[in-house]
Amino acid sequence: MDHDFDDFHGFYLFLASLGLIWFLALWTIWLLGTWAARSRYRLRPRSPLSSAARTAVPGVSILRPLKGLDTNLYENLESTFTQEYPNFEILLCVADEDDQALPVVRELISKYPHVSAKISIGEEDVGINPKVNNLMGGYRSAANDILWVLDSNVTVHAGTLARAVDALQTPTKSGKRVALVHHVPFAFSTESRVGSRIDEAFLNTNHAKMYLAINTIAIESCVVGKSNLYRRSDLERVNGSLKPITSTEPNAKQDGLCGLAAFGRFLAEDNMIASAFWHELGLRHDLSCDVARNVVGNMSLRDYVQRRVRWIRVRKNMVFAATLVEPFTESLVLVAIGSSSLKYFFGLSRWLCIVIHFCMLLIVDLDVYTSLAGHPLPQSIKWGFLAGWVARELLALPIFILAIFGNTVEWRGLEYEVLNNGEVKYVSNRRSFLDSFEFLRRYQPKKYQAVETEPVLP
């Protein structure tokens, strides 16, 4: 009997020790992310490239995939026309010539005649990912090796491009060349919908501090594709296999299809491109001191849940082990583990631990928000933001449980099945019968690509 008690006590001691280590480790990661946000984003110096001569800086082609009238579209696109960089072109890509975004694009081209801007109309069917298909025309016609792919719902500061090129040309501390520069998403909501507020709270606190901490440690690729800057010459060497290139030739490439077209089979093409640079070429990523201001828009609670489910299921089929650990990084699970361990070792009240934990977590998250935004949480959205923060914490575990059992995801009205290697296949269309017919017609293999080029006005 005593022997059984000793075994039980030893097992509980082991669990309590493991729980305390995990609790302290997660808080260390959170504080690292908070420190990274403070040190990187509270000062944003002007890059010397902003005032350099055109011939003194590398040219950049900005690719913006467009579909319909996204929230804040005019201001989002205008932020690329006003970049303080002397040598860039803008390629605005739409799949259809009747796309609603085109009048906005043409108005901006007329407003900024000194900016080299072109419209690429048409898509090339290289895979299941409509964003990649949309981008192929601009990708092939880009005049420069450096590409900046920027989502249509993102707006950026005028100095973002210059600072990103600076980062791309600066080697990492380990001496490895930087292949990709990315920007942490910073959400702002133009609506007071429940889903909008929750997504805003998630991206600007929990997601941001974990994203920054992982990229500070830099032991693995971790990239969100809202705003990515990289070289086309690097992309043309990789294919998403994530297997290192064995040849010792300086410009050796993978066998078979390479370049952007090779990533059309992935739903998370941005993450796969970054991973390919990391694993296939042995290169690294970097963050500049700018954020990708992501306009959330009119998002319902259902929209938010679907979005989170989608990306959890994508990650599950790309990095299964890491995805299984995610619930144990959520604050509710973590505080249950930590408070039990602290009670076992020090006799502290669980409720006291819970109150202290969430008070400190809120302070840390608001500090991250202040660093990314450049200002404290505005009073005008204070209570809505805090309600979204609480809802995010409460919903995290139920959403994970919903997401982990299943492989189908919805994106822009279409349903896909995520495969084990991170690829996807088309399942069905959630739209009307007429829209379904149109989708099938458009996604048949094409033998041409329509490109409309608008010259720079004198």
Sign, Cα dihedral of 94, 98, 103, 104:
negative
Q: Distance between CA atoms of 451 and 121, rounded to whole angstroms? A: 5
Tokens of 191: 């609506």
Of the residues 70, 166, 234, 270, only one is catalytic, namely 270
**Do 87 and 442 contact (CB within 8 A), yes or no?**
no
**Do 328 and 337 contact (CB within 8 A), yes or no?**
yes
Q: Distance between CA atoms of 419 and 401, rounded to whole angstroms? A: 19
DSSP 439: H
- The gap from C-alpha 330 to its chain's centroid, in whole angstroms, comes to 19
Is 270 among the catalytic positions? yes
Bridging pattern class, strands 178-188 and 227-231: antiparallel
Find, among 4, 310, 269, 15, the residue nearest to 132 by Cα.
269
Sign, Cα dihedral of 310, 315, 318, 321:
negative
Our CA angle for 406, 125, 222, nearest 5°, is 50
Three-state secondary structure call for residue 186: strand
Q: Distance between CA atoms of 228 and 183, rounded to whole angstroms? A: 7
Residues assigned a catalytic role: 270
